[in-house]
Structure 1
Amino acid sequence: MELGVIAIGATVIALCAMPFIATANNRKKKQKELLNGLNTIATTQQSHLGIHDFGMEFAIGLSSAKNYVFFYKNLKNGQPISTCIPINTVQNCKILESKQRAGSESILQKLELVITLLDKESTTCSLVFFDAEEHFQPNGEMSLIRQWETNIKQAMEFYQN
């Protein structure tokens, strides 16, 4: 009788743990794919990936020499976005929060890191960290975008001096 209870208990525990194990494996697989995307971008610039972080569907990184910002994102349609921005062409870097009012509250719709470049047209490059059309709610993107704004500004200071 006790052996039967132990077997049933072990089976229930295994069944309860399986979704968590599957989720962790999927996250690792997705992060590996994103990291490969960043490394591919770095290789095309004859550079090496230094620091990097992962978001829900994207990865952002800085070259080991801190002269390039790399951004790789998987879109829902399967097409990836890969961006490489030389730090010495960056004029400004700021966070843009797009919000929608819902009564007395405002709901975050989009969270972007907007990088203004030094060319004549003063073009901008927008790195989307969060979009409400893709995900229901942000999951650590706010702290991540603040960290990367700081990282890019520190790298800019290095190349301005």
Structure 2
Amino acid sequence: MSSKSILMINGPNLNLLGTREPHIYGSETLKDVENSAQQQGSDLDLKIATFQSNHEGHIIDRIHEARGDCDYIIINPGALTHTSVGIRDALGGVAIPFVEVHISNVHSREEFRHKSFLSDKAVAVICGLGTYGYTAAIDFVARKLAVKKD
């Protein structure tokens, strides 16, 4: 039996994890997060593909490519959370369920970060757990996919 597939997408500036504002985002690098996610996926018989881009169009293209090839998306759209109707429409267009993840608690930050263009379409939103939010998202998705199998 083939394993289920998750696409983990990270948006603008997340390539700077570990060095960008560590008091907010911690010291773990994106590579550390991706490696941990892939190990966790392996332990749960889930294939985890990762993608990061600082460009909205590239993220939209990658979402489109996931159609028919992916069971779930975990996305941290970074600053595009608050501006991108394009990413919202891409996620809706491919009809792949997704979890929105934010490392920081966006609701305790600047007011413009309180509005997400994705949250109302997400199956779940995780914020403020640091990079553990990715771990929690993978566990959540694994449970959702297990229920779906039965």
Query: Which TM-score applies when normalising by structure 1?
Result: 0.26
More strand by share: 1
More helix by share: 2
Q: Which has the higher contact order (CA 8 A, sep 6+)?
A: 2
Query: Which TM-score applies when normalising by structure 2?
Result: 0.28
